[in-house]
Every structure is written in C-alpha cells, then in structure tokens.
C-alpha cells in the first residue's frame, strides 16, 4: 500500500481524499485536520515489525459463518474499496443473521462523516 511505503504529505492527502470522498464535499477543513493528525500519529508511534505491512484481508464465507455472536455491519453507500450493495448481498447469503446497515451519504469513513446516524445504529443494535 503506497501510503505505508511512501508516507509523504501528498500521498496521505491523495489517499484520504479518495477513501473519504464524502468528506471532501462535506467538510474539507475537517478532512485536512484529520490528515494532519494522522500524519503526526504515523510519525510518532513505531509499529512492531510484524505490523508494518499487515493488510486487512477478506474473510472467507466459512469464517463469516463461524461467527455466532450478534453482529452489526455498517457500510457507507459510497464505499470506494468495494461495492456496498455486493457486500450486503454476500452477507445476506452467508451470514443472514447479521444485522446490516448501509449508511447513506457516507464513504469509507462512516464513523466520521455520518457519526450521528452510525452511532444511532450502534445504540439501536445494542438495545
């Protein structure tokens, strides 16, 4: 991932403007503040070697089916890494017991751009 290999301000800005595209339109100043804070934290903390290039992976259908706890999955409708609709369709098939929510007007940063709605979904889920 380029952001890890080339931790330059320009790379951070391009990456976060892509992955948090909803914030570009909604609150560019907040996005720039987030990027600045991320850069500071990236420079300030040393990751153990085993975490340096640890990338998230897609869970297999079998892994998802083994989850036997109540689970809430929130995905922004404008997610850029994968299709929110296809992800939800997959969960409907392999993990129908999961509670699912597509958060409108949000991309990858659901908890940043739609925090009130996302928090309401969590509170409702927790009952």
- For 18, the token pair is 């892509």
Confidence at residue 33, expressed as pLDDT on a 0 to 100 scale = 87
Q: Where are the domains of the chain?
A: 2-51, 61-126
Residue 88: pLDDT above 80?
yes
pTM metric for this prediction: 0.75
- Contacts within 8 Å (CB) and 24+ apart, 7-10: 7/39, 7/42, 7/43, 9/39
Among the listed ranges 1-5, 73-77, 86-90, 101-105, which one has the minimum average pLDDT value? 1-5
pLDDT greater at residue 41 or residue 82? 82
46-61 pLDDT, tens per residue? 666 655 556 677 899 9
Residue of 30, 32, 35, 29 whose CA lies nearest to 12: 35
- For 60, the token pair is 């297999």
Exposed, middle or buried by CB within 10 Å (0-12, 13-18, 19+), for 109? buried
Confidence at residue 50, expressed as pLDDT on a 0 to 100 scale = 57
């Amino acid at each position: 991932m380029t952001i890890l290999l080339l931790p330059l301000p320009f790379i951070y800005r391009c990456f976060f403007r892509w992955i948090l595209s909803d914030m570009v339109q909604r609150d560019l100043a907040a996005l720039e503040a987030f990027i600045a804070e991320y850069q500071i934290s990236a420079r300030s903390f040393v990751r153990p070697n085993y975490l340096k290039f640890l990338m998230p992976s897609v869970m297999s259908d079998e892994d998802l089916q083994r989850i036997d706890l109540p689970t809430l999955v929130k995905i922004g409708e404008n997610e850029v890494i994968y299709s929110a609709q296809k992800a939800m369709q997959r969960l409907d098939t392999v993990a129908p017991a999961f509670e699912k929510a597509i958060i409108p007007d949000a991309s990858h940063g659901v908890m940043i751009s739609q925090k009130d709605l996302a928090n309401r979904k969590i509170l409702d889920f927790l009952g």
